[in-house]
Amino acid sequence: MMKTVYTCFCTDVIHDGHRNILREAKKYGRVVVGALSDKALVRYNRFPTLPFEKRVELYRSLDGVDEVVTQDDMLYDDIIAQLRPDYVVHGDNWKTGSERLLRENVLHALAQYGGELIEPAYTVSPEVQAIDANLREKLAMPEYRRRRLRTLIEMCPIVKVIEAHNGLTGIIAEKTVVETDGKLDQFDAMWVSSLCDSTAKGKPDIELVDMTSRIRTLEDIMEVTTKPIILDGDTGGLIEHFVYNVRTLERLGISAIIIEDKTGLKKNSLFGTEVEQTQDTIEHFCEKIRAGKQVQLTDDFMIIARIESLILEKGMEDALTRAFSYVKAGADGIMIHSRKKDPTEIFTFCDRFRAADSKTPIVVVPTSFNTVTENELAAHGVNVVIYANQLTRSAFPAMQRTAADILRYHRAKEVDDTLMPFSQIITLIDEL
């Protein structure tokens, strides 16, 4: 009886590396190729540029392929249990780095019945390198990046977003992958806030940094990353200015802008009622949302309305009234904010909003209520969680300590153990 050989593809373009895998697999028996589903690809930042059906057709057309099946998860447990292949074939490039977890997962699944893993040498060639680079560049293009946030919201239990305020923090957001609970985990998108952007420029968070300067920050981040970006738009400014900014951001490939329903000189929301903050009228803020939506040229870009009612102690009813009004005006999502350490009022808002609206995405920023888990938030209907300023707040104390120690010891030797090695700095930045 002919033996079964399994391999999984997650590519839109076939190159020598894939063909080598298939040739090796064919030596051992009947070849079954797993087509990784869109849901799995999206979760692990491997966004397809071909629809799933087209990828299946592409794999079926390849020499040596006998059957194509769907693999719904990056981990192989389910598909191996279903097919019980005699062999799994994968390039040896997953022996190191974050993908080693996938390798261990395959080995464990095969060991349950005596299957074998075959690992041909990973193909390194100018063709393979060029195709990989071109695919990455394609994902960075505005039309692909812009629509990705909506896709993530549709497919992920909760979208995880982290602050980026320059190219380097963008790379950290892009490349950080950890093994947790037997799975690979990473951030799905980036948040560019006015607070962190202003702080990085040494300026106060009062809308002092204009949109031109903020666009320069966005361009620095977008130049070295592929993940979708959500921009903190503060109040959105004058309606007459907001519509132009929407057009600009949409053209750049930004996925969403979040605007808050306040007026006057912007003060950070976490000050709450300790400083004077004025909330916009529902009517005027709805007008701003409608104006922004009317000038969009695509359905990809999102305008998300941030509600300050709980921050300003206006009460739950005011927050809900505003939420439903903003959605009716065209808002693509609702961000509800709180400065309480207890997440109860956030949960209450989400539960009551979800009772009347099951579809509109909910966004939260758990800076104050930071004990809450992503699973808890998802259970209350939250779609997007933003970790808004943790990179900035962790970096600055570290730099202050380093500067102080150099002054204290009159040399740099004592800080060496806290510094990233030169080799890691060099490899962190990709070369074209």
Let me know how long the chain is. Answer: 432
Per-residue tokens: 327 = 């959605």
Per-residue tokens: 410 = 């009159």
182 DSSP assignment: T
Residue 412 CB neighbour total at 10 angstroms: 11
Q: At what angle do helices 282-295 and 316-329 cross, to 10 degrees?
A: 30
Residue 159 host element (H or E): strand 159-163
86, 205, 261, 280: the catalytic one is 205
Residues 340-372 as b/e (b if ≥16 CB within 10 A, e otherwise) read eeebebbbbbbeebeeeeeebbbbbbbbbbeeb
Widest distance between CA atoms in the chain: 79
Distance CA 264, CA 57 (A): 56
Distance CA 335, CA 289 (A): 14
Distance CA 294, CA 284 (A): 15
- Catalytic residue check, 205: yes
What is the full DSSP assignment across 383-409? -EEEE-SHHHHHHHHHHHHHHHHHHHH
Annotated catalytic sites, by residue?
205
